[in-house]
Amino acid sequence: MQLPKIGRKPEDILNDLESFKAKDLPWESGRVFAYVYDPGIEGKDILKKAYSSYLTENALDPTVFPSTLKLENDIISMAGGLVGAKEDFVGNFTTGGTESIMLAIKSARDYFRHIKPEIKTPEIVVPHTAHAAFHKACQFLGLKAIVVPVDKTTYKAIPEEMEKAITPNTILLVGSAPSYAQGVVDPIPEMAAIAHKHGILFHTDACVGGLFLPFAKRAGYDIPDFDLSVPGVTSLSMDFHKFGYAAKGASAVLYNARDLRRFQIFTHSGWAGYTVINTTVLSTKGGGPLAACWAILNLLGEEGYTKIIRDCREGTEKIINWVKQEEGLKVLGEPVANLVAVASDKYSVFRISDLMRKKGWFLQPQLAGSTSQENIHFSIGAGNVEHIDSMLNDWKEIMQQIRDENRPDMVPDMEMLIGMLENATPDTFTQMETALGLQGADLPDELEPINQVLNRLPVDLRNQLLTEYFNRLYNN
Ligand SMILES: *Cc1c(COP(=O)(O)O)cnc(C)c1O
């Protein structure tokens, strides 16, 4: 598109914007088990109104817009109250889990630069189940991520493996509560105790669980300890834009000590312009996400969240119990929240997700990794609960269809592909993507061949292939 020469009519513009969504996932149907966290009609209404009422306010300078400081302080204190923060805890509102994690790691890096300048390349130790955001943070910030295997049955991090990976360069250990992929909570108290013993920091990634586990505990479910009340845990991330049902762009990073958060803050008053003091990555920062987050926390309150969590957990248990009795399917680990990964030693999970998609259900395929099996992932939110019975009915039919058709997995000639890719130029990747039907945003109906290839490729080749794909997808 070119910038129009003369401005267009507002109604045409808004119609266009609506029409662009035609091919998006139909998330309002409740049939999408990932990416979307729908609080229902009343929640959406207040999110929109609150967001637009703070559209123009700029959280860049809280001395000029004290309203944004008030919102942030309120949100952080509500968050701290949920996750056992110490009395003198501190924290900031960020744009998402990735930013919260990145800031926790920046603080750790700069704190250690201060106390142990002899460390040249700092390392963090992460279980294989830790979110990709930790790898991104390391890549952006010049750290090294040391990945350790998790237990192949429980999918939990193994404290002894974490300890073995500690070197004189280690500055931080990581645990998930729960992991996104399998919904399993790591043994945080044991892991944080190891960090403490070695004089290093510990981050609990409660991005997806921070607004679920505290209410689940209150509702009487058996939830292992994970939060800032656990000795040795020094920072924690939690996302409001997941099961807090806030508008996207809403997360928090919390610290048990102000001394550590100091290293998060960037200040520069020596250039030719206004003084810049940034607590987070962004500088100019819209007030919308803050206002919408503040609004939904106040709308739902403890009671509202607890009710949603009960419903989601009951729905999750329905899925778990159904999978356990279905021939050829299994649940990975023992998910304690509302996230489930389903694998199969007998059937192609990618075939299942393709067939489910044809029936209008979106389940997220997850590829195999060093200590994990390929699987399909469900995040069960408020908007999904009432659709679970009909989802399971369709799934049952699909399993029958898969048994009846008894079709071999679509496995390409991997040796040839890997041979091709090992000496690849960007052109090789382009040719391969074309051969696989990976072109533009319109993916083929059947993603199984693509997923089977990706699933079998070594991770670095996978990464290169997908990087080339996105480098062309955003096409200008
Ligand atoms: C979602 C998630 C993240 C990343 O959060 P974004 O908001 O997508 O940046 C990190 N860790 C866990 C456990 C998550 O579920």
Per-residue pLDDT tens digits for 284-309: 999 999 999 999 999 999 999 999 99
- The residue whose C-alpha atom lies closest to atom 6 belonging to ligand 1 is 97
Distance 37 CA to ligand 1 centre (A): 13
Burial status of residue 152 (CB atoms within 10 A of its CB: 0-12, 13-18, 19 or more): exposed
Index of the ligand 1 atom closest to the CA of residue 206:
13
Indicate whether this model's pTM tops 0.85: yes
Cβ partners under 8 Å of residue 83, min gap 6:
206, 210, 214, 227, 228, 229, 236, 238, 254
Q: At what angle do helices 288-325 and 66-82 cross, to 10 degrees?
A: 30
> How far is residue 73's CA from residue 87's CA, in Å, rounded to a whole number?
14
Q: If 0-12 CB within 10 Å is exposed, 13-18 middle and 19+ buried, where does residue 423 land? A: exposed
DSSP lists the bridge partners of residue 216 as none
| CA distance linking residue 409 with residue 389, whole number of Å | 28
C-alpha distances in Å from residue 129, one per residue of 93, 99, 169, 185, 366? 25, 19, 22, 10, 12
Determine the 3-state secondary structure of 29 from DSSP: helix
- Look at the block and give the residue holding tokens 């189940």: 129
Q: Are 192 and 232 in contact (CB under 8 A)?
A: yes
Ligand 1 contact, 129 CB (< 6 A): no
Determine whether 31 is exposed, middle or buried from the number of CB atoms within 10 Å of its CB (0-12, 13-18, 19+). buried
Whether the Cβ atoms of residue 129 and residue 157 lie closer than 8 Å to each other = yes
Distance CA 51, CA 39 (A): 15
Determine whether the shortest distance from the Cβ of 238 to ligand 1 is under 6 A. Answer: no
Give the Cα separation of 420 and 292 in Å (integer): 49
Q: Please give the helix or strand (H or E) that residue 388 lies within, else none.
A: helix 388-405
> Which residues contact residue 130 at a Cβ distance below 8 angstroms, ignoring those fewer than 6 apart?
147, 174, 175, 176, 179, 205
- CB of residue 205 inside a 6 A radius of ligand 1: yes
Q: Which pLDDT value is given to residue 42? A: 87
DSSP bridge pairs for 204:
175, 236
Between the CA of 398 and the centroid of ligand 1 the distance, in Å, is 31
**Confidence at residue 444, expressed as pLDDT on a 0 to 100 scale:** 82
96 CB near ligand 1 (under 6 Å): yes
Which single residue is written with the structure tokens 């991770």?
A: 459
Phi-psi region of 304 (alpha: psi -120 to 50; beta: other; left: phi over 0): alpha
DSSP β-ladder status, 276-278 and 266-268: antiparallel
Look at residue 29 in the predicted model and tell me its pLDDT: 84
Q: Are 172 and 105 in contact (CB under 8 A)?
A: yes
Q: How far is the CA of 252 from the centre of ligand 1 (A)?
A: 11
- For the chain, list residues with pLDDT below 70: 410, 476
Cβ(200) – ligand 1 distance below 6 Å: no
Taking the centre of ligand 1 as the mean of its atom positions, its distance from the CA of residue 244, in whole angstroms, is 13
Q: Report the chain's terminal Cα–Cα distance, integer Å.
A: 11
User: Is 206's C-beta closer than 6 angstroms to any atom of ligand 1?
Assistant: no
User: From the CA atom positions of the chain, what is the Rg in Å?
Assistant: 23
Ligand 1 centre to CA of 139 (Å) is: 17
pLDDT at 476: 60
Chain center to CA of 47: 21
Both structure tokens of 49: 């109104």
Ligand 1 atom showing the smallest separation from residue 95 Cα:
7
What are the structure tokens assigned to 132, written together? 């990709």
Q: Is the CB of 304 under 6 A from ligand 1?
A: no
> How many CB atoms are located within 10 Å of the residue 81 CB?
12
Tokens 């750290």 belong to residue: 143
Q: Is 131 in the pocket of ligand 1 (CB under 6 A)?
A: yes
Contacts 24+ apart (CB under 8 A), 325-332: 326/396, 326/399, 327/399, 328/399, 329/399, 332/155, 332/182, 332/372, 332/373, 332/375
